[in-house]
Amino acid sequence: MNQRFATATNIVAEVSSGARSAVDVVDEHLARIATDDGEIHAFNTVTADAARARAAEIDELVASGSEPGPLAGVPIALKDNMCTRGVRTTCSSKILEEWVPPYNATVVERLAEAGAVVVGKTNLDEFAMGSSTENSAFGPTRNPLDTGRVPGGSSGGSAAAVAAGFASLSLGSDTGGSIRQPAALCGLVGVKPTYGAVSRYGLIAFASSLDQIGPFAHTVGDAALIYDVLAGHDPRDSTSIVQPQASVLTDLGAPIDGLRVGVVKELSGQGNEAFEPAVVQAAADAAEALASAGAKVEDVSIPSAVAGLSAYYMIAPAEASSNLARYDGVRYGLRHDGPNTAAMMRASRTAGFGDEVKRRIMLGTYALSAGYYDAFYGKAQRIRTLMIQEFDEIYQNYDVLLSPTSPCVAFEFGAKADPLTMYYNDVCTIPSNLTGHPAISVPFGLGQAGLPIGVQILGPMLSEPRLFQVAAALEEVAPR
């Protein structure tokens, strides 16, 4: 944890007790944004006036003796692909540059009910397609730990906002690692929940069977605090899990004696030149630390995991091709006129979408086309099914799995301009999206240039309480 910044847990305690006003807390964070975000560019939109007004409401609740909520006065940043009523939501794309939603995403409503204070909307790779936040139509976000390097992506703005102290917590979306990878590169805790555990209502879709909203935080405890606010059934999301979910705060800090931990060989980076040696070593050290804490740690093999990257880059672009068809210059968003409807749509999409979005739309459309559907998309779905089966079998004998989060620490701008090189950043994180399982990235040591390394804890469906328990154990013994 960056000791310069107060934890969300401490902010809640101070604001709820009246020891500190929510207005003062928010003003402090807004002052940092005003001073430093010109260089970092974590935000697309800063909602300073609304944040101060909301903070004043929280202070009034405290003064009247009312319960201000479990996130009372905590400044929070939202990835700019989550709908906010009356505040523009751009997906960092020219095609939605001036779009203002008429409704809030469910997660935005739940944060408001919990007493949180939204300070702005954060930058991302356009439509969440990328691993560096270099693909934003509004310019890249810089890593606060080294401004010559990327913060990761696609939720790089949300990660940078927390790492820079602009917000105590933030939300991102994770389609193939877009929370966990930037969390690793920025030295944060990042959570990708079970698919359906947190509502996607109001999240602008990239790949609907993969997308999931989750938090960034400085500590596992802070991540648990906000997770309990976010999780739970939402009737407006048809994929939302109906059954009640256990609090992740209950077992936080409990011992892990006897816990069965599997280190996934295919994701460990051992013998793989694409993985930095310090990253491989950090994951091995994390496994040893869990063993020293009483866990039973063994190597495990999940053969289908090596095909996860290939399957993902068929399935995700195919779903993106379908989801992004709605941006046609007719109903909403950017419109460029033309002599006929087809020309108008072509001109609008040409001007509105960036290169990476166009690349994935074309890849997905091709994979879904007649004559190629079975060879590409159908085969990728069969690999996905095999992966789900193999992970489920492993979880019969192991409580959690362990791997690096990212093959490398934060890299310099332009260092991975080749798309295939960039895509490989997600090799460890993609399996959890394909299976729908939860995963958490926790900082564990430093690598090249003294930059943070993240290790990833994976678990079966709805195993978040156990994942947070293990994450807290790792956090406790992480190299300082």
As a whole number of angstroms, the distance between CA 427 and CA 460 comes to: 19
Instruction: Label residue 296 exposed, middle or buried (CB < 10 Å: 0-12, 13-18, 19+).
Output: middle
How many separate domains does the chain show?
A: 2
In angstroms, the Cα distances linking 17 to 14, 73, 211 are: 5, 11, 37
pLDDT of res. 3: 56
d(CA 342, CA 270): 51
Domain membership flag for residue 420: yes
CATH code: domain of residue 395 = 3.90.1300.10
Q: Is residue 66 a part of any domain in this protein? A: yes
Residues 167 and 277 reside in one and the same domain = no
DSSP of 199-265, one letter per residue?
Answer: --TTBPPSSTTT--EEEEESSHHHHHHHHHHHBS--TT-TT---S----SSTTTT---TT-EEEEEG
Q: What are the 10-residue block averages of pLDDT along the chain, 480 residues in total?
A: 80 98 98 98 98 98 98 98 98 97 98 98 98 98 98 98 98 98 98 98 98 98 98 98 95 95 96 95 98 98 96 97 94 92 96 97 95 94 98 98 98 94 96 98 97 98 98 95
Residue 24 forms part of a structural domain = yes
280 and 200 in a single domain? The answer is no
Residues 301 and 218 both lie in one domain: no
- Could you give the residue numbers annotated as active site? 79, 154, 178
pLDDT at 331: 83
Residue 367 lies in a domain: no
Same domain, 264 and 225: no
User: Is 273 in the same domain as 127?
Assistant: no
Domain that holds residue 411: 260-309+382-477
pTM above 0.95, yes or no: yes
pLDDT of residue 48: 98
pLDDT of residue 332: 84
Calculate the alpha carbon distances from 391 to 20, 269, 409 in Å: 47, 19, 27
In contact, 257 and 39? CB cutoff 8 Å? no
